[in-house]
Amino acid sequence: MAYTLDQFCADSHDILKSKPLADALPQVAEALSRLLSNPAFVAATFDESMGPSKRELHHDPELDFYVLAHVQEGGKTGRPHSHGTSWAIYGNAKNSTEMTEWRRTNPESDDHAELVAASKYSLSPGQTHAYGPGMIHSTSHPKPAWVIRVTGCDMDKMPRYSFGKKDKILEKV
């Protein structure tokens, strides 16, 4: 029987409630990969007529985690950012997300950040990756992509950290 959104949400709740976050996130990412391999879930969540958007598929009121469906436009590259004290898990349903993980090379007390790309990789359909609190990363979508993102809280209400023009960002790995 195919793994469903309801099963994923229940399993994620149980995992996040019973394990330390560092142990739980990889297990939730693995469960998300299983969900993304269900063609019925993908077909019920996305279709070719959808433009760039974000939709809430689930909110766990007890643990405050969210499951979101994103339609990402092609040719878009995001700036380095972290999710502050929260976390995120990304997984692709269609096309790829190019991920870059960043490492800060100067003290956080400085008024600017100096970042260097620590690793770069691609998330293809069915692949997932977890980003713990404070982990700096960026996304790029060469083609339109369908992405499921699980977050530890409502990111629209949470201070997040992004890096901009005053910061020194070195992309060589």
- Tell me the residue type at 59: H
Which of 90, 109, 85, 92 shows the shortest CA–CA distance to 101? 90
Q: Where are the domains of the chain?
A: 5-170
Take residue 8 and report the two structure tokens written for it: 């994923």
Take residue 171 and report the two structure tokens written for it: 């992309």
Take residue 93 and report the two structure tokens written for it: 């349903």
C-alpha Rg value of the chain to the nearest Å: 16
Is domain 5-170 given the CATH code 2.60.120.10 in the classification?
yes
- Annotate 42-101 with DSSP letters as a single string: HHHH--TT--SEEEEEEE-TTT--EEEEEEEPTTEEPPPEE-TTS-EEEEEEES-EEEEE
Q: CA 19 to CA 12: how far, in whole Å?
A: 11
Element (H, E) at 28: helix 21-36
Q: What is the pTM of this model?
A: 0.90
pLDDT digits (tens, 9 = 90+) for 84-94: 889 999 999 99
Q: CA 100 to CA 80: how far, in whole Å?
A: 8
pLDDT digits (tens, 9 = 90+) for 6-24: 999 999 999 999 999 999 9
pLDDT digits (tens, 9 = 90+) for 65-122: 999 999 999 999 988 888 888 999 999 999 999 999 999 898 888 877 888 999 999 9
- Check pLDDT > 50 for residue 173: no
Looking at the DSSP assignment, which residues form a beta bridge with residue 59?
66
